[in-house]
Amino acid sequence: MAEPQTKTTVTPPSIGGPNRPGGGMGGGPAGRFAPREKAKNARGTFRKLLRFYFTEGKSLFVVMVLLAADVLINVRVPLYIGRAVDAAAPAGSLGGADLRLAYACVAALAAIYFGDWALNVIQGLIMNATSQRIVRTLRKSLFGKFQKLPLTYHDVHTHGELMSRVTNDVDNISATIAQTTTQLIVAALTFLGTLYMMLRLSVHMTLAALVTVPLVFLLTRTVAGRSRKLFAGQQRELGRLNGAIEEDIGGQKIIKAFNMENKIIERFDRTNEDLWRFAVRAQIWSGTLMPFMNVISNFGYVCVAFAGGVLAVRGIITIGVIASFAVYSRQLTYPLNNIAGMFNSLQSALAGAERVFEILAEAEEPGDAPDAVDIGVPLGGVRFENVTFAYVPGVNVLNDVSFEVKPGQKVALVGATGAGKTTIVNLLTRFYDATGGTVYIDGVDIRKYKRDSLRRAFSVVLQDTCLFTGTIADNIRYGRPEATDVEVDEAARAANADVFIKRLKNGYDTVVRGDSDTLSQGQRQLLAISRAALCRAPIMILDEATSSVDTRTELRIQEAVLRLTAGRTSFVIAHRLSTIRDADVIMVVKDGRIEESGSHGELLERNGLYARMYNSQFEKA
């Protein structure tokens, strides 16, 4: 209502791998190196996010215990593999094989794998449910915040931006909670546990296995640096493509009217070609990661095998230790690779969380005063006393406005676009609070009324009608959900809307959508007036209710308005001066001030601004 406007030889146990619930490799190469926006204050945002985590503290504690137990079990798998090898072939001879010990090790491995599966299933179920509850709480807090923010916030933020916070940013956080969090913990614990077990077995073999660690970091840094720039270009071109598609779909009528179909296709092809070029190069670069990782992994095997062979010949270690290290070396590098891949996901999630918390930290509408009272059923007397208001500090829209309206009077506000007409009713309904001066209803400062009771005193019809997805009856009873079908029908008849409603196939049960073209602008306006009529509020506000309708519909709306405003204090904003000649008081607003005030006849006799406006419209007519 505001006026301004790979192939591998050994597969390690599946710790944090693709087979775990919530596992995977960070969404693959593309997801790993896609450009991520970093949070400006990552530490502060992380602390705030932890508060939402702690709402599910018990469940998260159980998940952490299960993850730790799972890692503790899995890091012992290579140890039992080595013992089984040593038991089957002690001192390099099959003659002294301890088959009972070998079978026991195999049985232990089977039990470990079964336990790993059970722990994965349990913690996966708990974590997925927990993460969704956390996200539900976060989304609920964010949406609830939208309802408490002042209209000034919505004036300066686009609907698409706010929707992105609720959907994209929260979903990004959700994916991180459900996947990255557990992967990161498992990766860290697995690396530390694996390193500990390797050191216990052989320090020399551990040093041989660690040769690959710096190579992993170097590879990841190199590929990530190259890929990130290309993915940034890909995302930029994808944004351009999405914007063009949205614009072209929304403007199909204009495109066809001006025969621009071929031009639009050519523009789309150019943008799509640019996106293709960036995407191919980005995928090629990111696709080099796993082949090189396999090379490094195989190099690690070579190092372990060479060092193990030398040490085994010298009698320092057994063949079983070599077998254990063959698995441990792979198990050591995978967590490092996962951590590198998850870092970007965490940065992206923190950036999204920061945008969410920015909204949650915004100042809400001022609360009711401690001594605020219910307005009850007001008589409808309105007084503005030296009221000044600015949407932007220092740029006044209203300047020292004063006037008084008696109960039951019909007041018309006229003037050029941007003069301040809608701002006056915005202040009256406390969509905004006056920067200076005071607004009174029945002699009481409106700030001393409870805000919800104050707004129940108004029935509002806006120039831009707002319908919600649902039936016509649902839209009419929007302000009074408890209204009966009879009351809905009476309101529609009072607004002259019942004529067209009954012609519809399903009548009042016809389903409409806010963004559809199934109803004309005049029909939508009649439904808005029906909604206002059903509210039965003592003060009526009509903001350009006939600005976008034909003459015949305008007459119907005028008839409805006359019935609705009878005996009520009403404010009518209009550009068509012929529609407000019956007003008790006409106020001409110019540059944020009341330039003239009086009845239609009085203002014509003065031959001032109103007379010039009226005569000008009459001459044009």
pLDDT in tens, 38-76: 556 667 777 777 777 777 778 888 888 888 888 888 887
The rounded distance, in Å, linking the Cα atoms of 224 and 233 is 14
Q: How many CB atoms lie within 10 A of CB 75?
A: 23
Q: What is the pLDDT of residues 310-320, one digit of tens each?
A: 888 888 888 88
Q: Which residues of 408-418 are buried (b: 16+ CB within 10 A; e: fewer)?
A: bbbbbbbbeee
SS3 32: helix
Q: What is the pLDDT of residues 531-572, one digit of tens each?
A: 888 888 889 888 876 665 666 766 777 777 777 777 789 898
Identify whether the C-beta of residue 456 lies closer than 8 Å to the C-beta of residue 513: no
Q: Which two tokens stand for residue 145?
A: 């915040």
Tell me what pLDDT residue 494 has: 84
Q: What is the pLDDT of residues 152-198, one digit of tens each?
A: 777 766 666 677 677 777 777 776 666 677 777 888 888 888 888 88
Please state the rounded mean pLDDT for residues 404-428: 89
- pLDDT tier for residue 142 given thresholds of 50, 70 and 90: confident
Q: What is the pLDDT of residues 327-376, one digit of tens each?
A: 887 777 777 767 666 665 666 677 777 778 888 888 777 777 888 888 88
Q: Which two tokens stand for residue 183?
A: 């992967």
Residue 90 has pLDDT above 60, yes or no: no
- Residue 243 DSSP one-character state: H
By residue count, the chain amounts to 621
Tell me what pLDDT residue 92 has: 46
- pLDDT tier for residue 403 given thresholds of 50, 70 and 90: very high
- pLDDT tier for residue 23 given thresholds of 50, 70 and 90: very low
Tell me what pLDDT residue 439 has: 93
Residue 351 main-chain phi, psi, to 5 deg: -65, -45
Q: Which residues pair with 590 in a beta bridge?
A: 593
Higher pLDDT, 423 or 213: 423
| Least trusted range by pLDDT, from 95-109, 257-271, 458-472, 547-561 | 547-561
pTM: 0.61
Listed in sequence order, the residues at least 6 apart from 618 whose beta carbon sits closer than 8 Å to its beta carbon are: none
Tell me which H or E stretch contains 445.
strand 444-445
CB hemisphere CA count around 429 (13 angstroms): 25
Tell me what pLDDT residue 259 has: 79
Residue 511 main-chain phi, psi, to 5 deg: -85, 130
Give the burial class of 108: count Cβ atoms within 10 A of its Cβ; 0-12 exposed, 13-18 middle, 19 or more buried. middle
Tell me what pLDDT residue 383 has: 93
The rounded distance, in Å, linking the Cα atoms of 161 and 3 is 20
- pLDDT tier for residue 385 given thresholds of 50, 70 and 90: very high
SS3 436: strand
Q: What is the pLDDT of residues 201-239, one digit of tens each?
A: 888 888 888 887 788 778 777 776 677 677 767 767 876
Would you give the distance in Å from CA 139 to the centre of its chain?
8
Residue 173 main-chain phi, psi, to 5 deg: -65, -40
